[in-house]
């Protein structure tokens, strides 16, 4: 659908669908360095790892949490500068001023500039909220001129935060440890977030097992009109796809659905009491 009358501002994004060695940061970061190199060799400008890629989705914060400038942040910075690409993923972070660690997505740029987003919705079903503090704000950044808004796993179930960022977003990046038992939800919700916000959605999930939970990948990239741009299978895989902000603009111009969104304007009538 994109017009070819002007140069494309397309961005190649690599979703690293990987297994994660449980609570073994050294092993996971060692493997991740090879993944960044492979992604850069394929022309990716943004490389993204799954939720808590250095340790797995562990609630043992006394074991997995690290300082804001700890080994994972240092790894992301080093890879971004060395490879000349943007590199991001989430990890358990002991953030300053918080009573508990946060599930932090850190995106490191080749310039040394960081974008930091803390998961807004801890996954209460697994007890995450007892061990991790919720984030406080939505964050949007620019990667080579493409407006990118990151979210983490359970955030995907809350459409309102995606709506709040829609006007300023070309591509949402959702990093996850999404269990195989609910894989249908993963794909359906990613597609819905793309269609309803007329933006790309890049879902990055892990594989393997961790903490007694099975994961089957299914990383996928949806376009603003809901088409699948690229998808991975169930095992470790490097999914590289291109997102184009001009496509976002064209879809929104042709189908101006966002302008009709009436967030917070519609009254709700509750059932009358039967007493």
Report the candidate in 113, 119, 114 with the shortest Cα–Cα distance to residue 98: 119
What would the two tokens of residue 133 be? 């503090």
**Rounded to whole angstroms, how far apart are CA atoms 271 and 274?**
9
Closest CA to 114 of 145, 65, 78, 146: 78
How far is it, in rounded angstroms, from Cα 76 to Cα 214? 26
DSSP 58-105: -S-HHHH-EETTSHHHHHHHHHHHHHTSEEEEEEEEE-TT-SS-EEEE
DSSP 54: T
* Alpha-carbon gap, residue 8 to 45, rounded angstroms: 15
Catalytic site positions: 51, 119, 153
**E strands, 100-247, in order:** 102-108, 114-118, 141-143, 146-152, 171-176, 200-205, 207-210, 213-216, 220-222, 228-231, 237-243
């Amino acid at each position: 659908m994109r017009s070819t009358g002007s140069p494309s501002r397309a961005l190649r994004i690599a979703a690293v669908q990987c297994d994660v060695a449980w609570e073994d940061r050294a092993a996971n970061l060692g493997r991740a360095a090879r993944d960044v190199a492979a992604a850069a060799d394929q022309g990716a400008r943004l490389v993204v790892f799954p939720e808590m890629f250095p340790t797995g989705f562990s609630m043992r914060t006394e074991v997995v949490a690290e300082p804001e400038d700890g080994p994972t942040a240092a790894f992301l910075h080093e890879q971004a500068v060395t490879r000349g690409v943007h590199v991001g993923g989430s990890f358990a972070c002991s953030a300053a001023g918080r009573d508990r660690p946060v599930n932090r997505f850190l995106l490191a740029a080749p310039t040394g500039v960081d974008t930091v987003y803390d998961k807004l919705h801890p996954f209460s079903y697994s007890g995450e909220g007892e061990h991790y503090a919720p984030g406080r704000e939505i964050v949007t950044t620019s990667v080579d001129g493409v407006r990118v808004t990151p979210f983490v796993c359970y955030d995907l179930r809350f459409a309102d935060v995606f709506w709040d960022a829609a006007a300023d977003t070309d591509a949402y990046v959702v990093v996850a440890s999404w269990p195989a038992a609910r894989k249908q939800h993963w794909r359906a919700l990613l597609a819905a977030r793309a269609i309803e916000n007329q933006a790309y959605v890049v879902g990055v999930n892990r594989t393997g097992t961790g903490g007694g939970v099975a994961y089957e990948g299914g990383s996928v990239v949806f376009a603003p009109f809901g088409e699948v741009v690229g998808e991975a299978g169930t095992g470790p895989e490097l999914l590289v796809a291109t997102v184009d902000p001009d496509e976002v603009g064209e879809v929104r111009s042709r189908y101006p659905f966002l302008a009709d969104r009436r967030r917070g304007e519609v009254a709700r009538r509750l059932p009358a009491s039967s007493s």
